[in-house]
Chains A and B, each alone.
Chain A
Amino acid sequence: MLHGRKGIGGRPRSEPTKVVRLPLPIAQLGARLARLRNMGDVAALLAVAPWKQAAVPLVGSNAACGFPSPADDHLDRPLDFNELLIENPASTFAVRIAGESMISAGLFPGDIAIVDRSRRPTNGSIVLALLDGEFTIKRYRMRSGGVLLQAENPAFADILVSEEANFEVWGVVTRSIRML
């Protein structure tokens, strides 16, 4: 029950009235117009809330007759490869492998390595490192003498990072992608 001044509708007291039959949508027009006033949007005239958007799964039966799909109750999101490849989007970068020093670790020229800067290297991590201003990808080994950058290809020598070298780990390689 509404109290107080009517927002819309009503009639001047002196005029005569007449009872009519109307389809419900028209009879309820007054209420919808009230919504229109509130929202200032013509779409309010329609019996839907215009600002609501919903993603509808593509799978699912829309047959009005026949047996409903047994999968309808078990709809799931499609696989998102980002979930598999990226843990922290802000700190994740992609790098193209150019050299052959890491082929035994499965990093071949042309592959894309995923590098996460938020990960701290541990003994045995594959890292993208900066050594004296040059990028290199190697396995990170902590040795008593300091850091050893280990190649994964017998043709390449390991590098013992000297005290005076300008060295930093740019990020940790977490995945690799290869186009077959």
Chain B
Amino acid sequence: MAVRVALVDCNNFYASCERVFQPHLRGKPIIVLSNNDGCVIARSNEAKALGIAMGEPWHLVRERLPTKGIIVRSSNYALYGDMSARVMQVLARFTPLFEAYSIDEAFLGLAGLGGREEPHLRELRATVARETGIPVSVGFAPTKTLAKLANRFAKKEAACDGVLVLDGAYSALPYLDRCELTDLWGISHRLAARLSAMGIVSPRALAGTDARHMRERFGVVMERLVLELQGVPCIGLEDAPADRKSILCSRSFGRMVTDRREMEEAVATYVARAAEKMRRQNLATAQLHLFLHTNRFRPADPQYAASRTIALNVATADTMRLTTAALDLLGGLWRDGYAYKKAGVMLLELVPARQVQQGLFDKADSNRRKALMTAIDAINRDHGRGTVTLAAAGRTQAWALKSAMRSPRFTTRWDELLAV
């Protein structure tokens, strides 16, 4: 039996999460700002209609527009993460073939519905809305790529009322005619330009190409894309998310950092955070990358940006080893006399922690050290982040990020519950 694919995508997810507990925000333009209240990372439809762009720095929006009436929120990842888990839990009840694709999207494999797809998916949509309060759109098609396309129209077109079912590649054609190449899953602006140069200027033209020929010119990824547009499934459902290739922890500072000691605290804090994420996935790293820069949006200030990577002789998951390495790197990158806006730590070359190669001169993490890390992670999980840290991370953290406009963490903190 052929499995077909539904892509379920939450509408304006962050703004919708805010509205579940703050119903007075319905119908109003909402924007959510990135960590540290820097840039716009989510917009409600009303905010999109005002012409606020994704990624736009908030201070530029403020200069450009009268912001009275626009609801501004700092990002509340505790809330969004919890609401995402709830939506995924409801969706997983509808099929065992389930892939959580991002915080607000999931692919569902469905088979054996024999023409009852649309009522089934409408029921799914209504259930998610009733149980979690989050509105979703559903695109259904023979392949993932077409399901993405269907979802786009399910969301945009009032006539679809949130659900669009495409029986096959043929029924996708009218929709292909109504979008651009860059609207397709996996087509970047650069790729679209290359295709246009070959005379393939529209999604329908791309769907009409010969997949094998496209493979010769662009590689196997493009071949799959073309086949998927033609209704041949090539991208399977992955039940487990692939291991990450790298782990990043970077933040803008709450205020400019000019003191080296403060920068060391920030770097040590980011290392600890990234290392904790890495240990949660049972990984270890053999390469650490550090970067820092001044505020690019203040061209009048002296500008400096630097980054460097260090290769570790033996992969490690030990916060102490990584902190030592990162502070060494910082010593080489730091320049006095600049006002730093942001720093970040990236862990690269991730390997499963159980398969670490011993080095000739350096030993892998000792069992004692591993046990210490496990204990620290457990304490910080049970008693709140930052309960146990290295002294290098400091206690005051005057540089820490602002999230001045965050709404309460309604679902994860007893002292921030909705009061009625």
Query: Which A residues fall within an 8 A CB radius of B?
Result: 40-41, 88-91, 93-99, 112-113, 117-118, 128, 130, 133-137, 170
Asked whether, in the complex, the Cβ of B133 is within 8 Å of the Cβ of A96, the reply is no
Task: Check B131 against A93 for contact (C-beta < 8 Å).
Answer: no
Are the CB atoms of B133 and A98 closer together than 8 Å? no
The 4 closest A-B pairs by CB, nearest first: A91-B131, A90-B89, A98-B419, A96-B417
| A95 contacts B419, C-beta separation under 8 Å | yes
Asked if A88 contacts B420 (CB within 8 A), the reply is no
Q: Contacting A90 at CB < 8 Å: which of B86, B354, B418, B419?
A: B86
A130 to B20, CA, bound (A): 11
Tell me the smallest distance from the CB of A56 to a CB of chain B, in Å. 18
A88, B131: Cβ atoms under 8 Å? yes
Dominant SS at the B interface? Answer: helix
Contact A95/B420 with A90-B132, A117-B133, A118-B131 known, Cβ cut-off 8 Å: yes
Contacts of B86 in A (CB 8 A): 89-91
Q: Which among B24, B131, B355 is the interface contact of A40 at CB below 8 angstroms?
A: B355
Which chain A residue lies CB-closest to B27? A133
Among B87, B90, B411, B417, the most chain A Cβ lie within 10 Å of the Cβ of B417
Residue contact A90 to B420, C-beta cutoff 8 Å: no
Q: List CB contacts (< 8 Å) of B109-144 with chain A.
A: 130-133
Find the A residue at minimum CB distance from B88: A90
Which residues from A are CB-within-8-Å of B24? Answer: 133-134
Task: Find chain A residues with CB under 8 A from B411 CB.
Answer: 93-94
Let me know if B354 and A41 touch, CB within 8 A: yes
Closest to B87 in A: A90
Flag whether B51 is at the interface (Cβ < 8 A). no
Q: How far is the CB of B315 from chain A (nearest CB, A)?
A: 16
Shortest Cβ distance from A174 into chain B, in angstroms?
14
On chain A, the residues within 8 Å of B131 by CB distance are: 88, 90-91, 117-118
With A89-B89, A90-B86, A133-B24 as known contacts, state yes or no: A95 contacts B417, CB within 8 Å. yes
Residues of B within 8 A of A136 (CB): 420
Q: Which residue of A lies closest to B133 (CB)?
A: A117
Q: Which residue of B lies closest to A95 (CB)?
A: B418
CA–CA, A124 and B355, complex, Å:
60
Does A90 contact B23, Cβ atoms closer than 8 Å? no
A41-B354, A133-B24 known; A96 vs B132 contact (CB < 8 Å) = no
**B interface bracket (residues with beta carbon within 8 Å of A):** 20 to 34
12 A-B pairs within 8 Å (CB atoms) are namely: A91-B130, A95-B419, A97-B419, A98-B420, A99-B420, A112-B414, A112-B417, A117-B132, A118-B131, A128-B420, A135-B418, A137-B420
Chain B positions near chain A (C-beta within 8 angstroms): 23-24, 26, 86-87, 89-90, 130-133, 354-355, 410-411, 414, 417-420
Question: In the bound complex, do residue B420 and residue A96 qualify as a contact, i.e. CB atoms below 8 Å apart?
Answer: yes
Q: A90-B86, A90-B131 are in contact. Are A96 and B23 (CB under 8 A)?
A: no
**Chain B min CB distance to A75 (Å):** 25
CB distance from A43 to the nearest CB of B (A): 9
Residues of A within 8 A of B133 (CB): 117, 170
Q: Bound state CA distance, A135 and B410, in angstroms?
A: 14
Partner of B130, one of A40, A96, A117, A128: A117
- Tell whether, in the assembled complex, residue B420 and residue A97 are in contact, meaning their CB atoms are under 8 Å apart: yes
Known: A96-B420, A98-B420, A135-B23. 12 other contacts (CB 8 A): A89-B89, A90-B87, A91-B131, A94-B414, A95-B419, A97-B419, A112-B417, A117-B131, A117-B132, A118-B130, A130-B23, A134-B23
A67 to B419, alpha carbons, bound, how many Å?
A: 55
Q: Which of A89, A93, A170 has the most CB of B within 10 A?
A: A93
A94 x B417 contact (CB < 8 A): yes
In whole angstroms, what is the CA distance A91 to B133 when docked? Answer: 9
Check if B355 sits within 8 Å of A96, measured CB to CB. Answer: no
Contacts of B87 in A (CB 8 A): 90
B132: chain A residues within 8 A (beta carbon): 90-91, 117
Q: Inside 8 A of B418's CB, which chain A residues have their CB?
A: 93, 95-96, 135
Residue with the greatest number of chain A CB neighbours at <10 A, chosen from B86, B87, B418: B418
For residue B90, which residues in chain A have a CB less than 8 angstroms away from its CB?
A: 90-91
Give B353 Cβ to nearest chain A Cβ, in Å: 12
| B92, closest chain A residue (CB) | A90
Q: Contacts of B23 on A, CB cut-off 8 Å?
A: 130, 133-135
Residues of A within 8 A of B89 (CB): 89-90
Whether B354 contacts A96 by the Cβ 8 Å rule is no
Residue of A nearest to B85 (CB): A90
Q: Which residue of A lies closest to B90 (CB)?
A: A90
CA–CA, A3 and B3, complex, Å: 43
Q: How far is the CA of A170 from the CA of B418 in the complex (A)?
A: 13
CA distance A40 to B89 in the complex (A): 35
Q: Which single residue of chain A is at the shortest CB-CB distance from B26?
A: A133
A98: nearest chain-B partner, CB-CB: B419
List of B residues within 8 angstroms of A89 by Cβ:
86, 89
| CA–CA, A6 and B26, complex, Å | 72
Residues of B within 8 A of A170 (CB): 133
Q: How far is the CB of B18 from chain A (nearest CB, A)?
A: 14
Would you give the shortest CB distance from B92 to chain A, in whole angstroms? 9
Specify which chain B residues have a CB less than 8 angstroms from the CB of A117 in the assembled complex.
Answer: 130-133
